């Protein structure tokens, strides 16, 4: 798996800043403490000499090394006890000058023994929601709240199969050869809901997902190709994420204005991702016949040859909700 590169860079820098800030705050509190209570400063200075004392102890007779180390430990314990007593008598918390990390497990480094801490994983997941382009939908649409009661008879059985295929795709993402799904059906049948549910699950598992409408994708390519800002040196690419992400979800294919540029762009995007073995989900409201008439053979052959078709059927869920008095 590989988290979104920009998110990983930004959050790694945030963790470095948090770690440094926590240490600087502790150092400021220690200076205040030493200024107010010189006896605490004396004890802290003595404790700071522990490393040097250990080095000196190691130079003595090896036969009595353990005794010298035990004596040093007892001395430090007495100093710490005296320090606690002084702070207690002054009404100061014992850990006042300690470093207070947001995450004590990783000490705000994001890593524990070379393994990413759960706090950093969570931060990357939340950032992934935002950068995926589907942040708001993820909060509302998941596998847990996909309601099959809106379907009946053969339509329900069909949607049960669609639901299980979507769950399997998300659960096994990254653990098998790249797969692609084509969601096809009229509006209001749950295509966006299952796309959102897949995106959430895949992001939660640490993969980089981009969810965008076909119209917005082509607008980004058009701006990058023809916009005035395209020639600016060092300008950030709007379209790189569509090639780089591990899962690209293209919503509402067929709603964009069709012309030579959009057709060529779609072909290049599909072809590049198929060659790179990077998964895609395409969602469309138009029928199979219209896809064939709208796009060149080199596009439809890739879509119907490399994507698993999942047909959505039933009655518009939005209309059913209105009839039930639901929102």
The 3-state secondary structure of the chain reads CCCCHHHHHHHHHHHHHHHHHHHHHHHHHHHHHHHHCHHHHHHHHHHHCHHHHHHHHHCCCHHHHHHHHHHHHHHHHHHHHHHHHHHHHHCCCCCCCCCCCCCCCCCCCCEECCEECHHHHHHHHHHHHHHHCCHHHHCCCCCCCCCHHHCCHHHHHHHHHHHHHHHHHHHCCCCCCCCEEEEECCCCCCHHHHHHHHHHHHHHCCCCEEEEEHHHHHHHHHHHHHCHHHHCCCCCCCCHHHHHCCEEEEECCCCCCCCHHHHHHHHHHHHHHHHCCCEEEEEECCCHHHHHHHCCHHHHHHHHHHCEEEECCCCCHHHHHHHHCCC
Rounded to the nearest integer, the mean pLDDT of the chain is: 87
Q: How does residue 123 score in pLDDT terms, banded at 50, 70 and 90?
A: confident
Q: Does one domain contain both 223 and 282?
A: yes
Q: Could you tell me the pTM of the whole model? A: 0.70
Residues 79 and 157 in one domain: no
Poorest-pLDDT segment among 111-115, 135-139, 156-160: 135-139
Domain membership of residue 81 as a residue range: 21-101
91 and 39 in a single domain? The answer is yes
Query: Are 290 and 141 contained in the same domain?
Result: yes
My answer on whether 161 and 270 are in the same domain is: yes
Residue 247 lies inside a defined structural domain of this protein: yes
pLDDT attached to residue 234: 47
Question: Does residue 258 share a domain with residue 170?
Answer: yes
Indicate whether 269 and 209 sit together in one domain. Answer: yes
Domain count, the chain: 2
Band of pLDDT at residue 327, cut at 50, 70 and 90: low
Domain stop point among 54, 78, 101: 101
Residue 141 within any structural domain of the chain:
yes
Percentage of the chain lying above the pLDDT 70 cut: 94
> Between residues 140 and 196, which one has the greater pLDDT?
196
Does residue 20 carry a pLDDT above 50? yes
pLDDT digits (tens, 9 = 90+) for 154-176: 899 999 999 999 999 999 998 87
């Amino acid at each position: 798996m590989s988290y979104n590169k920009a998110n990983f860079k930004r959050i790694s820098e945030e963790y470095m800043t948090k770690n440094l800030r926590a240490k600087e705050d502790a150092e400021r509190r220690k200076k205040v403490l030493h200024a107010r209570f010189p006896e605490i400063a004396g004890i802290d200075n003595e404790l700071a000499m522990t490393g040097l004392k250990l080095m000196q102890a190691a130079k003595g007779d090896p036969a009595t090394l353990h005794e010298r180390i035990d004596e040093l430990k007892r001395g430090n314990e007495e100093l710490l006890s005296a320090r606690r007593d002084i702070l207690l008598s002054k009404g100061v918390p014992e850990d006042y000058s300690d470093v207070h990390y947001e995450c004590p497990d990783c000490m705000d480094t994001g890593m524990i023994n070379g393994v990413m801490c759960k706090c950093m994983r969570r931060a990357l997941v939340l950032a992934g929601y935002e950068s995926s382009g589907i942040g708001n939908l993820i909060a509302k649409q998941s596998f847990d709240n996909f309601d099959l009661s809106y379907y009946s008879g053969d339509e329900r059985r069909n949607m049960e199969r669609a639901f299980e295929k979507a769950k399997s795709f998300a659960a096994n993402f990254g653990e098998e050869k790249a797969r692609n799904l084509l969601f096809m059906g009229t509006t209001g049948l749950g295509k966006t809901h299952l796309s959102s549910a897949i995106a959430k699950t895949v992001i939660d598992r640490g993969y980089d997902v981009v969810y965008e409408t076909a119209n917005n994708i082509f607008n980004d390519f058009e701006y990058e190709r023809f916009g005035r800002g395209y020639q600016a040196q060092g300008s950030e690419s709007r379209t790189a994420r569509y090639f780089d992400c591990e899962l690209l979800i293209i919503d509402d294919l067929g709603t964009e204005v069709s012309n030579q540029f959009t057709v060529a762009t779609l072909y290049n995007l599909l072809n590049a991702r198929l060659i790179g073995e990077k998964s895609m989900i395409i969602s469309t409201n138009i029928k199979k016949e219209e896809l064939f008439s709208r796009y060149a053979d080199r596009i439809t052959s890739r879509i119907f040859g490399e994507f698993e078709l999942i047909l959505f059927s039933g009655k518009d869920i939005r209309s059913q909700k209105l009839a039930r008095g639901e929102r």
